[in-house]
């Protein structure tokens, strides 16, 4: 499991909360439930207006995906594809039927099953590529929601601060309360900046990264399945697929700078 | 009907108005008809300069479309196309004439009618694709107007605040009125931020989303009509078209992560 | 004539001037010739640095084009092309010579004249497409100047305000003059925001819109002239060209949503 | 010579200095050598980090190019190419050897020399297009440096102002000096805004414009040389090349709107 | 070695520290360990959330690469490729085996080794181009981290300042401490602006530049290896490859403007 995102999140909030506690003001000066409601509620409301309900409801799953992201074992997938290619070459495509249980990757399974079923190669590729598009679209929507939350959170933070300033300014009978009023007004801007910069914007970036990795490994699988289906030499398949790996992970070849 | 946008809108304004009412200042401190006029009127005036009158007049219809957006029943359309393909295969293209009344989707109707009339395939595709371009252009203009309103509303909010500040600063004989003057000046900025972030920007995003959905379903229809016209096997047509659906909605196939 | 831009401009300035007059400060508080000079002069100077003199001198013509924009009568052009196609089919291409006087659209004239002169089709298309590129380039430069004016006007507004603040701050012997000094300083920012948001940015948007319309109608003309030159059936030409029109303007066909 | 950029520069600085002199504060209030050092030095330092030394050292030459930009005489180049085509057609390609001295444009010379030397057409085109890429890359780097200077100058202006504010605020024993302190702090922001908006940003725009012009005239020359090399009819060459000119500069043809 | 980035970095920090020391406030007014922690720690934490740990850990190496960037000796590589081409033409591809030790560039080595091994040309090109993609992806990730650090550093600077302002405002019992409180609050904004504009943003730009250079030299090597493999004339290879060099570095040819 890639714990970088969890560590980053804990680190960011630890820093912020630590700074608040070490400051000259009591911690309570930084806590305001109504401010949190305006910023988080406002950003969520704006996002609900942007996307259909089904996508909004998938947001927690998307955020968990960022936190628990387990990078695909591309090397293992390539080894399995090469092993399947050997079986297919030796005993024919139908012999793969008996090995379907070993295959854990759903996308490899989909492709090999179609090859075993005798589906025409162009239909196999068409269906697998539509699958890739469908995964990319789901990722884009997930990233889109994070992007919009990261954009609307500071905006509603500013809206909250403007409301606080108007309240304070329209009632300045007691000058000594001006400072406290402004402090309260600034809290929504602070909340908006924190959740956008510590959560939503980094999550959107991470989703873009995960998407790129996943599409790249799906591309490798498509090439592998097509090669198996056409009965190519397992050695050539291995050589072709390993060129997708970064130099350090390849079996034995010179690295280029 | 997808009520996400209506709920989002109500939620956003509920939050904002609730915060205003719960604040220390009376609600009247947040209400200013002239400020609303400057922000909304200014944004509308700038938009009128940007677009021809006919597009501007279509804005309410575009906004209703976002609120009442009813996602196309893509699965139902595919089923109907497959059923039409069966009829066409069994009884010939002309037999579709008698089934035209069942077809409710105007775009399916347009395509099937041309096929029945014996229009050449390349003309059918050309006309259907021009239709798609025309729909895309209308959506883009609708999104463009929302984008511009979301950009000019905060700009005119700032213009209003600058005018308010200049008024206040050029007449500071009574220092006690400074606070109230600034409060009034800030209201236009608040209004600009609210209508841009709670209405226009989310509406522009939603229109982009609706556009993508609609173009995708038109693409499915074009492929279906072309396949019917060329007399393809209804099973193959079904297999091809269902690959466009998200995994969960497909009849029975393994899902890829 | 499309009066939307003129109405938008009058509406925007009416609102702004009305708000100024209804305010608590005298109208004179908002008028400053030096401020107008810094904002408008500065934006023009920066634009002169950006573009060659010939383009700068064409700016008034470009702005008039936005205000007096008369949308091309695409439907009429298509009717004329179909009528010319009928003549060409009945009496040969040379018979078009006698109808050249009817043709008012310069681009149709250019194409038909070359066809009558017996120019080879690929040369005709090459020349007409170069003409399209040349029109697009001119529009882009016009839009570019509006874009830059809309970007430099607020920048010079800010420069003016900074200069005003420095003047005020470096001479604060009389505290009662601070308010008035800041009011004067803010006027350049106000001017910059107004002319950018009420004039230059909307004009740039409108030019982009006009460009798209014009290129689309030139595309229709090119297709029409090429079809006439190759002696296609006038009915087929009509069918092809009308698919470019929005559904409502087409003679009689079902509309797709 | 196109003096637009020089005039724009003088106009912009004239306006700014004029406003400073006409203001209520003495001119000295606007002059601060350390501020100029922070803004200009900081922007230059950041740019040195961005680009290799050789590119940084070419900046004065790039800026001179903007100021002294002499637009290529495209019409004259086309006339010369047509005249060379006539010679080549009448007396053979080798006859161009004797006319090489007339050719002043280095790029025409490069192409014609290769044609005379009997280089194969695809090699000629390959070399000429690599030349075009190399010119485009140099222009892009020049524009990139201006872009970065225009982005870092205001950033270092803000850094200078923040440093000034911190100095002032940490030493407020004498309240009467606050105004002067802030005035000094704001000068770096002013300097950053002026040099970015009056110099670097417009220069970047102008370089983009010059690049487009130059690449377009190189494209004309490549087409001309290739046509000469293949022995095309000089009239056809002229017709093809003049379509690249704006309507007003063409010998005699109808202008399209 | 290209020392431009090191000089730029030293120059920028020299200027900033010099200005701080020459100012009216003591140097200590600008030093705050907690502020540095919030800005640098916060930007790093946000970046950890954006990228997997392995990429984050490579950041120091990426930054060293910018500082110690040694531009590839493209001219030398071309000379070596031409010399290898001569050997290959005279003594056959296998004769290159004995010259492998001379080749220092790993990418040339990779290509020549495959050619010597008798790998098919399309496999050689496929593997070399995948290598190029892999280098480009690594550079993009490196640039991406710099981009994000340059974006999050000012954001956490602002978050720190907001926290400082809230602390100060919620405890204004001693008015004389307001100035000092604000000064402290502004330090995080200052730190964020400095490290973004003096370090991370310029480093991101430099990485983009280095990437472009490296990809261009890899392109030259691919073309050279493919030409050697196909036994092309060494003179033609030289002519083709040197057209990639800027005019000044080419052996002897006229320069185009």
Note the pLDDT tens digit of each residue in A30-42: 999 989 999 999 9
The alpha carbon of E84 is separated from its chain's Cα centroid by a whole number of angstroms, namely: 30
pLDDT tier, E166 (very low <50, low <70, confident <90, very high otherwise): very high
Q: Which are the contacts of D75, defined by CB distance < 8 A and separation ≥ 6?
A: D245, D249
Residue in chain E lying closest to D158 (CA): E193
Look at residue E1 in the predicted model and tell me its pLDDT. 61
Q: For residues A199 and A195, what is the distance between their CA atoms, to the nearest angstrom?
A: 5
Q: For residues A92 and A115, what is the distance between their CA atoms, to the nearest angstrom?
A: 11
For helices B4-22 and B201-229, angle between their N-to-C axes, nearest 10 degrees: 180
| Among A49, A54, A62, A117, the residue to mutate for chain B (most B Cβ within 10 A) | A49
pLDDT tier, A6 (very low <50, low <70, confident <90, very high otherwise): very high
The rounded mean pLDDT for chain B is 88
Look at residue C252 in the predicted model and tell me its pLDDT. 56
Q: For residues D106 and D48, what is the distance between their CA atoms, to the nearest angstrom?
A: 32
The rounded mean pLDDT for chain A is 88
Burial annotation C181-190 (CB, 10 A radius, 16+ → b, else e): bbbbbbbbbb
- Residue-wise pLDDT tens digits, A149-176: 999 999 999 999 999 999 888 877 777 7
- Residue-wise pLDDT tens digits, C145-180: 999 999 999 999 999 999 999 988 887 777 777 888
Q: Which are the contacts of E135, defined by CB distance < 8 A and separation ≥ 6?
A: A256, A257, E214, E215, E218
User: Does residue D246 surpass a pLDDT of 60?
Assistant: yes
B51 touches chain C (CB under 8 A): yes
- Residue A95: CB atoms within 10 A of its CB come to 14
Q: What distance in Å separates residue C131's CA from the closest CA in chain D?
A: 7
Contact between A50 and B202 (Cβ < 8 Å): yes
DSSP letter for E102, please.
G
Backbone CA torsion sign across C185, C186, C192, C194: negative
Neighboring chain C residues of B134 at a CB cutoff of 8 Å: 246-247
Q: What is the SS3 assignment for chain C?
A: CCCHHHHHHHHHHHHHHHHHHHCCCCHHHHCCHHHHHHHHHHHHHHHHHHCCHHHHHCHHHHHHHHHCCCCCCHHHHHHHHHHHHHHHHHHCHHHHHHHHHHCCCHHHHHHHHHHHCCCCHHHHHHHHHHHHHHHHHHHHHHHHHHHHHHHHHHHHHHHHHHHHHHHHHCCCCCHHHHHHHHHHHHHHHHHHHHHHHHHHHHHHHHHHHHHHHHHHHHHHHHHHHHHHHCCCCHHHHHHHHHCCCCHHHCCCCCCCC
Structure-token pair, residue B110: 């347009």
Burial annotation B78-113 (CB, 10 A radius, 16+ → b, else e): bebbbebbbbbbeeebeebeebeeebebebbbbbbb
High-pLDDT (> 90) share of chain D, %: 44
High-pLDDT (> 90) share of chain C, %: 44
B180 touches chain A (CB under 8 A): yes
| Contact flag B48-C11 (C-beta cutoff 8 Å) | yes
Look at residue A68 in the predicted model and tell me its pLDDT. 86
| Among E187, E190, E197, E253, the residue to mutate for chain D (most D Cβ within 10 A) | E197
- The candidate with the shortest Cα–Cα distance to C245, out of C89, C119, C99, C74, is C74
- The candidate with the shortest Cα–Cα distance to A66, out of A74, A55, A58, is A58
- Residue C92: CB atoms within 10 A of its CB come to 11
| Contact flag A9-E34 (C-beta cutoff 8 Å) | no
pLDDT (average), residues D189-193: 97
Q: For residues E201 and E204, what is the distance between their CA atoms, to the nearest angstrom?
A: 5
Chain D: list its partners (3+ Cβ pairs within 8 Å): C, E
Neighboring chain E residues of D107 at a CB cutoff of 8 Å: 256-257
Minimal Cβ distance to A155: which of B22, B193, B205: B193
User: Does residue A144 surpass a pLDDT of 80?
Assistant: yes
Look at residue B241 in the predicted model and tell me its pLDDT. 87
**Reported ipTM:** 0.86
Residue in chain E lying closest to D171 (CA): E25
- Residue-wise pLDDT tens digits, C50-103: 999 888 888 999 899 888 888 778 889 999 999 999 999 898 888 898 898 888
| Contact flag C2-B34 (C-beta cutoff 8 Å) | no
User: Does residue A1 surpass a pLDDT of 70?
Assistant: no
| Contact flag A8-E47 (C-beta cutoff 8 Å) | yes
Q: What distance in Å separates residue D177's CA from the closest CA in chain E?
A: 12
Look at residue D252 in the predicted model and tell me its pLDDT. 56
* Rg from Cα positions in chain A: 26
B27 touches chain A (CB under 8 A): no
Half-sphere exposure of A243 (CA within 13 A, CB side): 19
User: Does residue B256 surpass a pLDDT of 50?
Assistant: no
Burial annotation C57-68 (CB, 10 A radius, 16+ → b, else e): ebbeebbebbbe
Three-state DSSP at D250 gives: coil
Look at residue E178 in the predicted model and tell me its pLDDT. 80
Question: What are the contacts of D63-70 at 24+ separation with CB within 8 A?
Answer: D63/D203, D65/D142, D65/D207, D65/D210, D66/C49, D66/D5, D66/D203, D66/D206, D66/D207, D66/D210, D67/D5, D67/D6, D67/D9, D68/D1, D69/C52, D69/D1, D69/D2, D69/D5, D69/D206, D69/D210, D70/D1, D70/D2
Q: For residues A235 and A237, what is the distance between their CA atoms, to the nearest angstrom?
A: 5
Quote the pTM value. 0.89
pLDDT (average), residues D63-90: 89
pLDDT (average), residues D230-235: 86
| Contact flag D52-E29 (C-beta cutoff 8 Å) | no
Structure-token pair, residue E238: 């030289």
| Contact flag D170-E193 (C-beta cutoff 8 Å) | no
Q: For residues A203 and A199, what is the distance between their CA atoms, to the nearest angstrom?
A: 6
Minimal Cβ distance to D7: which of C48, C113, C171: C48
| Among C170, C179, C189, C191, the residue to mutate for chain D (most D Cβ within 10 A) | C170
Three-state DSSP at B189 gives: helix
pLDDT tier, D65 (very low <50, low <70, confident <90, very high otherwise): confident
Q: For residues C136 and C131, what is the distance between their CA atoms, to the nearest angstrom?
A: 9
CB pairs under 8 A between B and C: 154
pLDDT (average), residues B52-66: 89
C213 touches chain D (CB under 8 A): no
Look at residue E218 in the predicted model and tell me its pLDDT. 93
Look at residue B23 in the predicted model and tell me its pLDDT. 80
| Contact flag D8-C50 (C-beta cutoff 8 Å) | yes
Q: For residues B230 and E194, what is the distance between their CA atoms, to the nearest angstrom?
A: 66
DSSP string across A21-47: HHSSS-GGGG--HHHHIIIIIHHHHHH
Q: What distance in Å separates residue B84's CA from the closest CA in chain A?
A: 22
- Residue B123: CB atoms within 10 A of its CB come to 14
E130 touches chain A (CB under 8 A): yes
Q: For residues C246 and D101, what is the distance between their CA atoms, to the nearest angstrom?
A: 59
User: Does residue C22 surpass a pLDDT of 90?
Assistant: no
Half-sphere exposure of A13 (CA within 13 A, CB side): 10
Question: What are the contacts of B208-213 at 24+ separation with CB within 8 A?
Answer: B208/B143, B209/A50, B209/A51, B209/A52, B210/B65, B210/B66, B210/B69, B210/B139, B211/B136, B211/B139, B211/B140, B211/B143, B213/B71, B213/B72
Contact between B206 and A50 (Cβ < 8 Å): yes
The rounded mean pLDDT for chain E is 88
Lowest mean pLDDT among A10-19, C5-14, D26-35: D26-35
- Residue-wise pLDDT tens digits, C120-133: 888 889 888 888 98
Minimal Cβ distance to C156: which of D197, D199, D203: D197
Neighboring chain D residues of C105 at a CB cutoff of 8 Å: 257
Minimal Cβ distance to A202: which of E34, E37, E50: E50
Look at residue C1 in the predicted model and tell me its pLDDT. 61
Look at residue E50 in the predicted model and tell me its pLDDT. 93
Instruction: Assess whether chains C and D touch, using the rule of 3 or more C-beta pairs within 8 angstroms.
Output: yes
Look at residue C254 in the predicted model and tell me its pLDDT. 43
Contact between C202 and B49 (Cβ < 8 Å): yes
- Residue E11: CB atoms within 10 A of its CB come to 18
Neighboring chain A residues of E165 at a CB cutoff of 8 Å: 182-183, 186
Look at residue C253 in the predicted model and tell me its pLDDT. 45
């Amino acid at each position: 499991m890639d714990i970088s995102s969890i560590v980053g999140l804990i680190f960011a909030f630890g820093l912020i909360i630590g700074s608040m506690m070490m400051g000259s003001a009591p911690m309570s000066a930084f806590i305001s439930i109504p401010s949190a409601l305006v910023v988080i509620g406002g950003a969520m409301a704006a996002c609900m207006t942007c996307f259909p309900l089904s996508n909004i409801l998938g947001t927690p799953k998307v955020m968990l995906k960022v936190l628990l992201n387990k990078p695909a074992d591309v090397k293992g997938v390539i080894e399995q594809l090469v092993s399947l290619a050997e079986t297919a070459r030796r005993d024919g495509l139908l012999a793969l039927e008996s090995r379907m249980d070993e295959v854990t990757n759903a996308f490899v399974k989909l492709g090999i099953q179609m090859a075993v079923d005798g589906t025409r190669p162009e239909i196999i590729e068409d269906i697998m590529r539509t699958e890739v598009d469908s995964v990319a679209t789901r990722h884009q929507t997930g990233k889109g929601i994070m992007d919009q939350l990261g954009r609307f959170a500071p905006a509603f933070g500013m809206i909250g601060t403007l409301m606080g300033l108007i309240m304070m300014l329209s009632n300045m009978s007691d000058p000594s309360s001006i400072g406290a009023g402004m402090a309260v007004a600034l809290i929504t801007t602070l909340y908006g900046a924190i959740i956008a910069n510590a959560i939503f914007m980094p999550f959107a970036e991470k989703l873009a990264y995960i998407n790129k990795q996943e599409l790249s490994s799906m591309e490798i699988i498509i090439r592998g399945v097509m090669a198996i289906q056409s009965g190519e030499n397992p050695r050539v398949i291995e050589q072709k697929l390993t060129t997708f790996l970064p130099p350090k992970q390849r079996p034995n070849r010179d690295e280029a700078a």
